[in-house]
Amino acid sequence: MARKRAAVLISGRGSNMVALIEAATAADYPAEIAVVVSNDPQAKGLDFAKSAGIPTAVVDHKPFGKNREAFERALQSELEKHRIEIVVLAGFMRILTAWFVSQWDGRMINIHPSLLPSFPGLHTHRRAIEEGVKVHGSTVHFVTPALDHGPIVIQAAVPVLPGDDEDSLAARVLRAEHRIYPQAVRWVAEDR
């Protein structure tokens, strides 16, 4: 079985990246994490990736200022260098241009911490509690030019419990994310 070469793009902690790296150690997993790329040189996730022997790269967005496409061209050449076939956004905190999205049409997925189309954008757990929803969760979707939008691959629902605060709810959602993201990448790598 030829495993698909996946890049995981991060900006921070990288716990979903860890779940993907661990899933990809299984002999029958259809994707390999060929590189982890961060736009932030300080991203914690880089340390874990290195310790796991995964190639890492930093493409810092700051020198590019407001020129998003120039940043993305640098990112794109890093992905090409590693012969990437699937792009997996895992807490990657950059808004992507239509140009970059079109390079990866149908081959780039994102995980968002809400049951889309509810709560796109930031602070999803706080907003879910404020709205009084009883069910919250996470969504893996293909990336389209519209932020936090695009065909849904998988969702996980978790209850919002009495007494939950942002942190307890976030932790419950994160545990669900670590289950569904490896499953979603498996399906995409299998062209399902």
Query: Cα angle at 11 between 127 and 52, to 5 degrees?
Result: 125
CA distance 185 to 22: 13
Q: In this structure, are residues 89 and 72 in contact, taking their beta carbons and an 8 Å threshold? A: no
Stretch that binds ligand GRF, among 13-21, 26-34, 80-88, 143-151 (CB under 6 A): 13-21
- Note whether 144 binds ligand GRF by CB under 6 A: no
Kindly tell me which of 70 and 122 has the beta carbon lying closer to ligand GRF.
Answer: 122
Catalytic residue among 112, 136, 141, 178: 112
- Note whether 30 binds ligand GRF by CB under 6 A: no
Nearest approach, Cβ of 63 to ligand GRF (angstroms)? 23
CB contact set of 160 (below 8 Å; sequence gap of 6+): 128, 129, 133, 134, 135, 136, 169
Query: Which residue in 38, 56, 76, 138 binds ligand GRF (CB under 6 A)?
Result: 138
**Paired strand residues for 158:** 136
Residues that bind ligand GRF (CB under 6 A): 10, 12-17, 90-91, 111-113, 138, 174, 177
